[in-house]
Structure 1
Amino acid sequence: MPSRPRSRLVLAAGIALLLVPGLASPPARADAAGGDPGLALGWERAVTTGGLLRYARQLQEISDAHGGDRAAGTAGHDASASYVARILTDAGYQVTVQTYDFPVYSSRPALRPVGTPWPEPGRDFSVMHHSPAADLAAPVHPVDLTLPPGPVPNTSTSGCEAEDFTGFPAGRIALVQRGTCNYRVKALNAAAAGAVGMIAFNEGQPDRLGPLLGSLSGPGVPIPVFSAGYALGARLAERRPVVGLRTDAVTETRPTSNVVAQTGTGDPDEVVMLGTHLDTPAGSPGLNSSGSGSAVLLELAVRLADLRPPHAVRFAWWSSHAGYASGATHYAYTLPPAEVDRIAAYLNADSLASPNHVSGVLDGSGHRPELAGRHGRGGAAVADSARIERLLRGYLSRNGHGAVEVALSGRFDSHPFAVFGVPVGGLFGGAEGIKTRREQRMFGGRAGAPYDPCHGRACDVVAHLDPEPLTLHAEALAYTAGVLAARPAGPGRE
């Protein structure tokens, strides 16, 4: 990174109200970060439910016209990217389409019993991205499992150390549990111990029960690796049956593209950035998983195109998120260091219209090691990320809604920006995880059921979206982005 001192985006000073043309002045309200009343409420007032659903319907039509999805590397995604670029160009933005190659992995997994009655695993069983092909049968052997599960995520360290496999009988299928380290580490340890395959299952806390989707972070693991939900994994651990694992596997490289648009005005050395992913899983229209965030960013970009905030604002629609090769990661790692340093804050939008939703705010408290950063900006990034979290929580609270903290992790496109020390935040409405009783008391809905039962499935269509959390989350992001984009920056301006 450049050696010049970085001026921090300060969130504690007062600013003048930003107004969208044609809107009356809203009543004054205090900002969560403790600044003057009446902050950037014009951005919030610009959001309309009708506009959000209109963009969602357009993405639905594109999915329908291209085989039912908008997966990266397909004509459906290319059409989506072209649509977004056209809307933004017409709105007067400087639009960049960043084309890049990414690995596409496809497979059809199967688990079959060998001499033992066994229920059909269905959606509770899948193959890890970048697993090699397999057709084998062997006994299952548990490896350092934590059953029953610990009280909090990452209690389990199953498979993370070579010592976990001490005494492992070669020629068996290693059964490991989610937690602590990534699946590639677990798989390489299993292979070194003589395992012929590996099954990783979910850890077992309330939000870690369902089908486990995962990636080996690229090809090169020598054994096939499969994944399972907690219930199936616990059953395998108890019975230790002989099971058959079979999958074909194809990895190929395809081109895809990110779409990035920036305002032509505002300080380009202190850019406020909002991002979401545009691509969908194969076979799913993805109207909540990617379409909700994409619609929110389109609505904000078009509605706010005529504003002249002091800081430049950049919107991004990422590709290849569903393929575990995030376009956000490609963008962050290929951006020149001086340009990364100009990103003052990044806000992420993901699954904002879940029918059994929560209002999840990405953790900016500094408890996550990702926020340490790699370029000497860790302390400032943690402090400003915490302020972004307070802005989002404060907005939700003032409007009568609670929030739950969501750990910053690699599943979110904010992760690569946090790695580079950029202050991050964002909202997540829930996906394949299971709603807890506490969350039911906070947000309504149904405890014990997925936040989004159609996540990754063909039923993730416009009619499946819940307009109420979609609008609420859009307004919270609009308000927070407005505060950030209007805030004077510079050392000492607390």
Structure 2
Amino acid sequence: MTRTDSRRARMVALGAAGAMALAGTAAVAAPAAAAPGAAQACEKRANDTVAELTDCVTLDGVMEHLEAFQAIADTPENAGTRASGTPGYTASADYVQERLEAAGWTVTRQQFEFPFFQQSSSAFAQVSPDAAPYTEGTDYAVMTYSGSGDVTATAQAVDIAVPPPTAANSTTSGCEAADFEGFTRGNIALVQRGTCPFGQKVTNAQAAGASAVVVFNEGQEGRTDVVQGTLGAPGATIPAIGVPYALGSTLDGDTLRVAVEAVSEFRDTENVIAELPGSTTDNVVMAGAHLDSVAAGPGINDNGSGSAALVEVAENMAEVDLPNTVRFAWWGAEELGLLGSNHYVASLSPEQREDIGLYLNFDMVGSPNFARFIYDGDLSAFPAPEGVPVPEGSDQIEYVFEDFYEEQELFYEGTEFSGRSDYQAFIQAGIPSGGLFTGAEGIKQPYQAEAYGGEAGVAYDPNYHQVGDDIANLDPEALDQNSDAIAYAVLTLGYDTQRVNGMIGKPVPGGTFEGDPAAREYRLSAAQANGGGGLHAGHDHEHVGEEV
């Protein structure tokens, strides 16, 4: 991997203080005040070389877009969020469209219906025989698409297994209407995770007259924690929560209070698609970032950062005459299960899918305690996702980003294609994919703090999916470097994708670095299992069904 005279070896020898100093000297500096006429120069020229485009894609430019997203969220009627299905998302989509159309791009908006859920409050407590209040996130979690209500009633067990079943013998608690024979209407149904989707359990409980549902974990190894699940879609009219095995297995016959206030309904949202026509239309270079935030906050790092970087790159390459068509996408409803990107790919005809040469994904590129992650297209750090082979050519996309970081003498490492961001639909469609990520809720390791700076033992983004993901929740160094990396990759591949899929264009002016992947100096080998974008509904944060 790295040579003994590499910068990493020098950092190890110097220790933590020296590492921080070296990291500072190698980093791309924050932009100085622009020289008079510099912005005008960028607007008047084509920016068709690596040097010109990366000179014009600036941190100041990206921050202008992020400040606009923050201002949108801060508008009183938008209530601090840019989540899909809210006015804040529509205003964000309007902003992107207006900026790109002004720059000369052709912009369309693809509408689709999606299941919306926004929780405003909850409470869970044991009322008797002993009073015991419980804490959301620690003792219980509200099911996505839970109904609303404030219920105090007796908990009644429904076909539960205590002691817990074995791993090979999952429970069927609540999976059949017959499980509720003898159930007392108005009671709170106490059911156990296992076999069928949570939505099916709640539907059966609701039909039997339950006033609320408490789902507790099965109890065998690996299934003891708080159940964090989804009902799959709106429709429930009663509150539904999940609890750990240790708590749930003791609640039968107790009087409980379960309260949830939430909006759960179907709403419309949209993807924003912008296209810069090339000489050909059958080898589209596509790049995307999800535009929506979670309901809890403005979503400036997740994923205003990727969205703003794409706007900045698009504005500065609008006059480039490329062999390949370039198509940018700002996805809606990613935070509720990658819905926008899945809808887009599903809407394509086989011929339209075939025309997409590759896809680049940018979901969180400015995390405040960042690492430089590149999706592991050559599978050198992580195995292929189960049941979804990484398409051929994805390794070469990874090497494009590696080439940039190597040229800049910046450390980087691989991250897993875990299915947690919008590349997933493209991989499943057989389209070569890659991209960048700076970390979400995962914990930064000591070797990463040594290489990138920041603090070991702390999340890459301590405000991930929280109200604190605001304009201050960014690292300008990471945002600046990654905006240039995005510009480099889009321009390079817009000129020529031969290394990815054999389609010949022409070399990018300014040079494609194309270093030897076997002789990388700045690739770190101790990759961590992060996977991009974070814990999104319908994925590893929430159990849509039951894993046996």
1:119-170 alpha-carbon deviations (Å, 9 max, x no partner) = 7524545323223457466499789999xxxxxxxxxx97xx7x22279999
Distance 1:332 1:271 in 2: 14
**1:129 match:** 144
Structure 1 residues 319 and 200: alpha-carbon distance in aligned structure 2, compared to 1, 3 A threshold: farther
User: Residue 336 and residue 450 in structure 1: after superposition, are their counterparts in 2 closer, same or farther (change >3 A)?
Assistant: same
User: Within 2, Cα distance between the matches of 1:245 and 1:324?
Assistant: 26
Q: Name the residue aligned to 2:271.
A: 258
TM-score (norm 2): 0.66
Q: Does 1:217 align with 2:232?
A: yes
Match of 2:322? 309
Deviation at 1:361, TM superposition (A): 2.3
SS at match of 2:442: coil
Q: Deviations over 1:63-121 (max 9, x none)?
A: 11233222222222211111111111111111111122222123333232455676752
SS at 2:393's partner residue?
A: helix
Picking from 285, 300, 310, the partner of 1:287 is 300
The one-letter code of the counterpart of 1:423 is P
Deviations for 1:259-304, whole angstroms, at most 9, x for unmatched residues?
Answer: 1001022321111111111122224111111211111000110111
- The residue aligned with 1:487 is 496
Counterpart position of 2:215? 198
The 1:238–1:80 alpha-carbon spacing in structure 2 relative to 1, beyond 3 Å, is: same
**Structure (1 or 2) with the larger CA radius of gyration:** 2
Distance 1:197 1:437 in 2: 40
Q: C-alpha distance in 1, partners of 2:236/2:170?
A: 18
Distance in 2, matches of 1:458 and 1:306, equals 38
Out of 358, 363, 366, the residue aligned to residue 350 of structure 1 is 363
RMSD over aligned Cα atoms: 4.2
Does structure 1 retain, via aligned residues, the 8 Å contact 2:48–2:317?
no
Contact 1:165 1:189 in 2 (8 A): no
Change (3 A) 1:23 1:273: closer
Determine the C-alpha separation between the residues in 1 that align with 2:279 and 2:227: 43
Matches within 5 A, 1:215-254: 215-219=230-234, 226=241, 233=244, 236=247, 245-254=258-267
What residue number does 1:56 align with? Answer: 66
Q: Deviations over 1:404-459 (max 9, x none)?
A: 413331x3011111111111112222223333445434433233333222223332
- Confirm or deny that 1:84 pairs with 2:96: yes
Instruction: Identify unmatched segments of 5+ residues in structure 1.
Output: 1-19, 26-39, 147-156, 373-380
Determine the C-alpha separation between the residues in 1 that align with 2:163 and 2:318: 55
Please list, as runs of the form range in 1=range in 2, the aligned pairs for 1:322-471 lying within 5 A after superposition.
322-324=335-337, 326-364=339-377, 365=379, 367-369=384-386, 371-372=388-389, 382-398=391-407, 399-409=409-419, 411-471=420-480
Shift of 1:355: 1.0
Worse-matched range after superposition: 253-262 or 322-331: 322-331
| Contact 2:445/2:456, CA 8 A, preserved across alignment | yes
Query: Are the counterparts in 2 of residues 371 and 421 from structure 1 also a CA contact under 8 Å?
Result: no
Q: For the residues of structure 2 that align with 1:277 and 1:431, how far apart are their CA atoms?
A: 15
Instruction: Check whether the contact 1:263–1:313 (CA below 8 A) recurs between aligned residues.
Output: yes
What secondary structure is seen at the aligned counterpart in 2 of 1:464?
A: coil
> Residue 58 of structure 1 aligns to which amino acid in structure 2?
A
Distance (whole Å) between structure 2 residues aligned to residue 280 and residue 405 of structure 1? 22
Contact 2:216/2:249 (8 A) holds in 1: no
Give the deviation of 1:463 after TM superposition: 2.1
Give SS of 1:217's match.
coil
The amino acid across from 2:101 in the alignment is T
> Match of 2:300, SS?
coil
TM-score normalised by the chain length of structure 1 = 0.73
Aligned length: 427
Percent of aligned pairs sharing the same letter = 31
Following superposition, the deviation at residue 484 of structure 1 comes to 1.9
**Deviation at 1:389?**
2.2
3-state SS of the aligned residue for 1:393?
A: helix
Q: CA deviation at 1:187?
A: 6.4
Match of 2:170 in 1: 164
CA distance in 2, matches of 1:265, 1:24: 13
